[in-house]
Structure 1
Amino acid sequence: MGYLTAAAGPASTDVAARSGDPATLIDTSPGAWEGGPDGILVLHGFTGSPHSVRPWAESLAAAGYAVELPLLPGHGTSAEDLAGRGWREWTEAVDAAYWRLRGRADRVGVAGLSMGGALALHLAARRPVAAVSLVNPGVVSPTPLLSVARLLAAAVPTVGGVGDDISLPGRREGAYERTPVRAAGELHRLFRAARRTLPAVTAPVQIFKSLVDHVVPQDSLDHLVRRLGRTPEVLELHKSFHVATLDRDAPLIFENSLRFFSHEGLRAGDPESPGR
């Protein structure tokens, strides 16, 4: 395994504010960028949106990759919407984004933050994926209570939010302020499904892990190292909390994920202007 330290990263803000200042606007919309011949699918986390990983997607697009950045069902809308969604809707949305990208890319790599990491691994176990790069991926629930979340939801519909775990003062990812308990139960089901398929992941895996993470327990990384089909490359993040793609270590993530995808044979074309 490899271990690295890190540097500084870009900014984020609050989705609820939605000010007119481009520097503080939360953009929850999906994105797609031309490039290639190969492409990268980038996946956001639970209760978040593409905003939390957009700088990562843009860095991959700027390097010349085709990039697909989907908005997962129930996200970027409201906590009430998320409460009515199931984990299979998320995996189906990831599948759809994968096939859209395959329509314009010869080979596909996958990048994911937090729950996006579980979705990336679940995809890689079922579809041809060339390489997987993950930031603070979750595959183990932080509390056993999530196994009975459906029962708890009747009495406690929501709990406090899990977003904005960022070390930089004033930086926000724009996740929901409240977490639907029923949706948290679906997250638990997704984690269970992802864990079951880990031995089937044969693609090389890179994992960035924050030393201080208030959202995903260390158990997730330990489980991945034990159960993946091949030993992952692990890079430590010393200056970021959970949402490291918007934190001080963001440049390290962008640089080293590009190195990783290139090393694993994913080919980029001429750099494109971000957005399409």
Structure 2
Amino acid sequence: MLLLPGAEPFTHEGSAIGVLLCHGFTGSPQSLRPWAEHLAAQGLTVSLPLLPGHGTRWQDLQRTGWQDWYATVDRELRELSRRCDQVFLCGLSMGGALALRLAARRGAAVSGVALVNPAVTFPRFKGYALPLLRFLVPSAPGLISDIAKGGGRETGYERVPLHAAYSTRALFALVRSELPQVTQPLLVLRSRVDHVVPPTDTVLVVSSVSSTDVTEHVLESSYHVATLDHDAERIFQETDAFITRLATRKTARDGT
């Protein structure tokens, strides 16, 4: 199956500090590639996998579910943990939900979590209809390329397969129940204007985690896919500072 342009996974072998990036629902690694390439340029070890069913055609996503997507990022985390002293997680939208579940379940294997417009809720009205609707209608119009920057384009599906959407809804419910188990330092960057994920999702995440080290920034000039938008450079810089601060703290604590 041919991949959409830019949907290829990205990896880079670097230092003993690893970063795992998780892309969003119906999206692809293309939306996070500049972020991943920036981190690689800083000398870090980077993994940006393609989630199952993504990056090809929406019908392929119809045959997958959250368990497949989570298994992929869980496997990547285990592999990074084998090679690196510290591993940080980054996620956009649903990728943020996957990162939060990894943090909740893998504990000390995760040194910190950086999220951009994390999604942890499903639109209520659409959610009520999904259990039945998914058996009657295979897909619905999607929303990609929610980008304020002129010429910005996200590689992803313009149709949302409803079986996969139903699975996403289940993932979000599970992640919400596990948020109190997240104790790692947390960096959250939220767009003031987001046509995909409501700001209340970030409020829910920040208020529900057990992390004592939480930093939140509002992105004034970007929409949902902020990693490809006007504030992309700020996201990169804030992530650099976040990882450097925590890595330096660990080095000082270990006395190395």
If the length of structure 2 is used for normalisation, what is the TM-score?
0.92
Residues 266 and 109 (structure 1), Cα distance of their counterparts in 2 relative to 1, 3 Å cut: farther
State the match for 1:259 in structure 2: 241
Distance in structure 1 (CA, Å) of the matches to 2:105 and 2:204: 19
Letter in 2 for 1:99: R
CA contact (8 A) 1:150 1:181 kept: no
1:143 alignment partner in structure 2: 124
Question: What does residue range 1-276 of structure 1 map to in structure 2 within 5 Å?
Answer: 26-127=5-106, 128-230=109-211, 232-265=214-247
Q: Deviations over 1:152-201 (max 9, x none)?
A: 11222211112110001221111101111111111111111111111111
SS in 2 for 1:233: strand
Shift of 1:148: 4.6
Residue 9 of structure 1 corresponds to: none
Structure-2 residue corresponding to 1:22: none
Which protein has greater RCO, CA pairs closer than 8 Å, 6+ apart?
1
Determine helix, strand or coil for the equivalent of 1:139. coil
Structure 2 CA distance, aligned partners of 1:72 and 1:63?
Answer: 25
Deviations 1:248-268 (A, max 9, x none): 00000001111001111169x
Distance apart, 1:86 and its partner CA: 1.2
CA distance in 2, matches of 1:141, 1:157: 18
Query: What percentage of residue pairs aligned between the two structures are identical?
Result: 46
Letter in 2 for 1:86: G
CA contact (8 A) 1:212 1:240 kept: yes
CA contact (8 A) 1:86 1:186 kept: yes
Letter in 2 for 1:258: D
Alignment length (residue pairs):
245
**Structure 2: gaps of 5 or more residues:** 250-256
Q: Distance in 1 between matches of 2:116 and 2:197?
A: 11
CA contact (8 A) 1:107 1:266 kept: no
Query: How far is 1:67 from its partner?
Result: 0.5
The answer to whether the 8 A contact 1:125-1:201 is kept is yes
Aligned partners of 1:167 and 1:240 also within 8 Å: yes
Unmatched 5+ stretches in structure 1 = 1-14, 19-25, 268-276
**What whole-Å deviation, never above 9, does each CA across 1:69-94 have from its counterpart, x for those lacking one?**
11001101111110111111111111
Runs of 4+ in 1 over 6 A off after TM superposition: none
**C-alpha distance in 2 between matches for 1:164 and 1:254:** 19
Task: Provide TM-score, normalisation by structure 1.
Answer: 0.85
Give 1:147 shift.
4.8
Q: Which deviates more, 148-157 or 77-86? A: 148-157
